[in-house]
C-alpha cells in the first residue's frame, strides 16, 4: 500500500468586499510626509493671504501622487482669486460630495463652478 499523500493546505480565505475591483483614483490625504508637509504649508499660505504660494505648495503636494485634499484646496484658492478656469480644472477632479463643498465655498467669492 502506498504511503498516504498529504493534503494540500486550502487557499487562504479572502475577505469579501462586495465588489470585484478595488476603487481606483486618488485618496483624500497626501501619499507621503513630504506631500503632507507641502499641503500644510499651502494651508498656512492661504491663511496668510499668500495665494500664489498656496497654489505652488498645493501643486507640490500632489506631485508625488494625487490627493483630493490638494485638489479641494486648489479649487478653493483659485475661487479666492476669482479664476474660474483654474478652479474648474481641479473641481472636475473631485468626487460629487467634495464638488458640492467646493461650490459652496466658491460662492463666498462669487464664483459659480456650476456654469
Work out the angle between the directed axes of helices 33-48 and 51-61 (0-180°, nearest 10). 170
Domains and CATH numbers, the chain: 33-107 (1.25.40)
Q: Note the pLDDT tens digit of each residue in 60-108.
A: 999 988 899 999 999 999 999 999 999 999 999 999 999 999 999 999 9
- 3-class DSSP state of 63: coil
The answer to whether the beta carbons of residues 82 and 56 sit under 8 Å apart is: no
Please tell me the pTM assigned to this model: 0.76
Amino acid at each position: 500500500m502506498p504511503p498516504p499523500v498529504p493534503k494540500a493546505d486550502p487557499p487562504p480565505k479572502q475577505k469579501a468586499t462586495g465588489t470585484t475591483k478595488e476603487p481606483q483614483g486618488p485618496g483624500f490625504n497626501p501619499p507621503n510626509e513630504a506631500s503632507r508637509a507641502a499641503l500644510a504649508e499651502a494651508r498656512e499660505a492661504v491663511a496668510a493671504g499668500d495665494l500664489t504660494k498656496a497654489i505652488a505648495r498645493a501643486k507640490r503636494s500632489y506631485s508625488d501622487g494625487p490627493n483630493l485634499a490638494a485638489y479641494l484646496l486648489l479649487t478653493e484658492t483659485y475661487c479666492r482669486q476669482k479664476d474660474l478656469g483654474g478652479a474648474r480644472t481641479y473641481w472636475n477632479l473631485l468626487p460629487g460630495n467634495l464638488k458640492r463643498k467646493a461650490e459652496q465655498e466658491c460662492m463666498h467669492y462669487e464664483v459659480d463652478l456650476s456654469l
